Amino acid sequence: MSAHADVRHAPGPVGGAFFTPGVKIVAVVAGIGALAIVYRLAFGLGAATNLNDGYPWGLWIAFDVVTGTALACGGYAMALLVYILNKGQYHPLVRPALLTSAFGYTIAGVSVVLDVGRYWLLWKVPLYFWHWNLNSVLLEVALCIMAYTMVLWIELSPAFFERGVTAETPWIRRVSERGLPFMKKALVWVIALGLLLPTMHQSSLGSLLLLAGPRLHELWNTPLLPLLFLVSCVGMGYAAVVMEGALASSVLKRRPEREMLAGLGQAILPVLGLYLVLRLGDLVWRGQLGALFAFDLYSVLSLIEIGLFIAAPLMLATERQRADMGNLFRAAMVLVLGGALYRFDVYLVAFNPGAHWSYFPSVGETLVTAGLVSLEVLGYVMIVKYFPILTGRAPEARAPILART
Amino acid sequence: MGISRRSALKAMASVTATSAVSAISARPAAAAEAPADAVGMLYDTTLCIGCKACVVACADANDRERDTAWSEGKWQAPVDLNQHTRNIIKLYVDGPTRSFVKQQCMHCIDPACVNACMLGSLQKREFGIVTYEASLCTGCRYCQMACPYNIPKFEWTKAFNPKISKCELCNHRLAEGKEPACCEVCPREAVIYGTRADLLAEAHRRLEAHPDRYVPKVYGEFDAGGTQVLYLSHVPFEQIGLPDIGPRSVPETQRSLQHGIYQWFAAPVALYGVLAAVMLRHRAKQGNETAGNADGGQP
Ligand code: SF4
Ligand code: SF4
Ligand code: SF4
């Protein structure tokens, strides 16, 4: 476990000015999103969205919640690798993964508040336990996601405490000094929760649509939905960590953790292998190969989706391929696209309420989603600049610039 | 640096085992039966003349705004069920064959909407009627995703306090000893109200008396696990918007899977224990190897 003690891999704040030109652009998008949110709250869902009685769930659920939390499975996937498979050398990637996960889940939570029609009653969901409908998969998903979002921020708290012990305000220092050793002791139990909860709700995000069974296209209508969602979210988690690692290092001018990211590229392989066996095996088992090659809209979309899941491992097959950062990044992106398409397919394409219904996200919905994603980016940049999240030293040439702050 | 394929697969398996094993061992739950006091309606396409008196009566009885959107404010003419319209008459035309059909909540015996609803806002309450309690509704619209008949509608135009709107079998009228408004007003008795048992007997009596007139089936007797609103028709049911769902109730697949996995919450608790145990073991080992490194798996 030498990696832990290795100072080169110790996390530290990135430092530097916050309002770089890039950050300003992202802030503008977030601002426009905020206006769209005000519009939705003032004028209601009918005015702000293209949702309708045929397609009651749209972009916010399919993207922000279902795809967003799958992409936010980096924390989950990394915890599996580091704490369960005991690959301690990947430890430096855990914190950044947890941070993106925490933001991903928090943003998903905000989307849910905007999406439900009666958000002022949401507090009843966790508290009115005597009314809980234990048959409702949505209840399980809601409770799990609420709990997991909290768990993620708790898992991340040592990063804040580490910074806090050097704070000038006495009470912050005191809390941080007490918090650090406490977290060290409690961590195993918190991490175990952080592994259990996503296992539950990521699979349940697949189970949700089983209830729409009679109106779900046969290519996606399988009792394996929960398992397919679970396995693919682990792959998407690794892919997200790879993309985030590569992006953060290039945008924030850090040296990327090349070997570790390449190792993740390898970790993706068995996961995708399992996914493909399940997905294709299920289609064969249920006799849907004919539908798969019918070349109608459904068949084409499934083929693209499965094709992306096949392309990703092909791009990661050899050590040479994985060592090439550009290729690694592209493969991760292919996988993320595949996983996102699979989720859109299940939630929006496979779901067919009848020929006279149609749905395409409105401008308002899109602006809100773009705004929330931007908010996530802003939060991420802000936190890595001031708190010890990222490892990977700054290249020497940059050191004086950083030293100025 | 690399991760051995075997150990990675093993870990994936350990995490997914819970759901996989339970998915396979999931037992089909016993089919639900209609409550003893179940009431319902019987609609007969051969009797309906499409006067739409029931559409107007339904809106009146349930304090719904008139849906005049299609005629730009001139007359009530809903084009489908929507937030103002809990009951609609549609005309199905296919060459010389034509049939009216009435659409409203089917009051399923094992309703998908009820299964979906987090706090039981939608529930089978008295007489097996599926009713709505707004104070428990978050407006999540999962009921809309779930209902195989596209029945629950959402008040999209309201920014504040939008509700789900659906036929509740006029339970407020039943409490006053009256019939559902649509049944009371129908001049042809094309839709009648009664206990489910009586209506089923009446439907079979009609089928026997006029085998030439009907498709030989009472829709809702077994469909989707059985419904409390029943249909007789002279054209195939799928063509008038009553899908062939089979006798299995809609929530059954999901519920048996979910119950398999979460029975007594045993699997999640066990998984939690296993995960923590694995980590504690790693940590103990690691402590022996690198004494003095206090980092012990700190994120
Ligand atoms: S028809 Fe739809 S809304 Fe009515 S009880 Fe059945 S599932 Fe619920
Ligand atoms: S919209 Fe309301 S009634 Fe429908 S499932 Fe959600 S909470 Fe229940
Ligand atoms: S029972 Fe009442 S609410 Fe239902 S369709 Fe008839 S009139 Fe409308």
Note whether A351 and A373 are within 8 A (CB): no
Q: Residue A193 to residues A10, A152, B113: CA-CA distances in angstroms?
A: 25, 10, 31
What's the B71 CA to ligand 3 centre distance in angstroms?
23
Return the residue of B nearest to A119 by Cα. B138
Residues 6+ away with beta carbon under 8 Å from A395: A253, A254, A255
pLDDT number for residue A249: 83
The CA distances from residue A132 to A123, A140, B121, B129, in Å, are 13, 10, 10, 20
B130 Cα: distance to centroid of ligand 2 (angstroms): 12
CA closest to B275 among chain A residues: A192
Residue A4: Cβ within 10 Å count: 19
How far, CA to CA in Å, does A55 sit from each of A46, A52, A350, A352, B87?
12, 5, 12, 8, 20
CA of B111 to the centre of ligand 3 (A): 18
User: What is chain A's pLDDT, residue by residue, as a tens digit (405 residues)?
Assistant: 334 445 556 788 888 777 888 889 999 999 999 999 999 999 999 999 999 999 999 999 999 999 999 999 999 999 999 999 988 889 889 999 999 999 999 999 999 999 999 999 999 999 999 999 999 999 999 999 999 999 999 999 999 999 998 888 899 999 999 999 999 889 889 999 999 999 999 999 999 999 998 999 999 999 999 999 999 999 999 999 999 988 888 887 777 788 899 999 999 999 999 999 999 999 999 999 999 999 999 999 999 999 999 999 999 999 999 999 899 999 999 999 999 999 999 999 999 998 889 999 999 999 999 999 999 999 999 999 889 888 765 554 444 333 333
| Contact in structure between B188 and A72 (CB atoms under 8 Å) | no
Answer whether residue B27 shows pLDDT above 70.
Answer: no
Contact B111/A at CB under 8 A: no
| Of A241, A224, A236, A203, nearest in space to A97 by CA | A241
**B115 neighbourhood in chain A, CB within 8 Å:** 133, 135-136, 211
The Cα–Cα gap between A203 and A226 comes to 4
With CA atoms as reference, the chain B residue closest to A388 would be B299
Which of B122, B149, B245, B249 most suits a substitution to test ligand 1, by most atoms within 8 Å of the C-beta? Answer: B149
Rounded Cα distance between A127 and B284, Å, is 38
How far, in Å, are A197, A264, B43, B260 from residue B3 at the CA level? 25, 9, 64, 33
**Residue of B254, B269, B295 to mutate when probing chain A, most A C-beta within 10 A:** B254
Which string of DSSP letters, residue by residue, matches A261-318?
HHHHHHHHHHHHHHHHHHHHHHHHHTT-HHHHTS-SHHHHHHHHHHHHHHHHHHHTSS
- Between residues 136 and 155 of chain B, which touch chain A (CB distance below 8 Å)? 136-142, 144-146, 148, 150, 153-155
> What is the DSSP code (8-state) at residue A390?
-
Contact criterion met (CB below 8 Å) for B72 and B214 = no
Q: Which residues are registered as beta bridge partners of B186?
A: none
Alpha carbon A24 to its chain's center: 24
Residue B121 CA to residue B135 CA, distance in Å, equals 7
State what percent of residues in chain B have pLDDT above 90.
71
pLDDT for the residue numbered A250: 84
Average pLDDT taken over every residue of chain B: 87
Nearest to A354 by CA among B232, B90, B159: B90
According to DSSP H, which parts of B50-99 are helical?
Answer: 53-61
The pLDDT-based confidence of B19 (bands split at 50, 70, 90) is: very low
Predicted local distance difference test score (pLDDT) of residue A256:
78
Sign of CA dihedral B106, B111, B113, B119: positive
Predicted pLDDT at B292: 37
Return the pLDDT at A8. 57
Residue with tokens 């063509």: B239
3-state secondary structure of B139: coil
Answer yes or no: do A1 and B289 touch at CB < 8 A. yes
Torsion of Cα atoms, B289 then B290 then B292 then B295, to 10°: -120
Residue written as token pair 């026997």: B208
Expressed in angstroms and rounded, the spacing between residue A168 Cα and the centre of ligand 1 is 60
Contact A159, A101 (CB under 8 A): no
| pLDDT tier, B10 (very low <50, low <70, confident <90, very high otherwise) | low
ipTM for the predicted complex comes to: 0.91
Region B215-219: mean pLDDT is 96
Structure tokens at B172: 């407020």
The shortest CB-CB distance from B253 to any of A95, A118, A223 is to: A223
Shortest Cα distance from A15 to chain B (angstroms)? 20
pLDDT tens figures, B238-265: 999 999 999 999 999 999 988 888 887 8
* pLDDT tops 70 at residue B126: yes
Which contiguous run of DSSP H or E holds residue A105? helix A94-115
Place of tokens 């849906």: B67
pLDDT at A401: 39
Q: Residue B78, SS3?
A: coil
Which residue of chain B is at minimal alpha-carbon distance from A232? B12
3-state secondary structure of A145: helix
Which ligand does the CA of B116 lie closest to?
2
What does the alpha-carbon distance between residue B121 and residue B126 come to, in Å, rounded to a whole number? 14
What is the spatial distance between Cα A7 and Cα B216, in angstroms, rounded to a whole number? 80
pLDDT at B31: 61
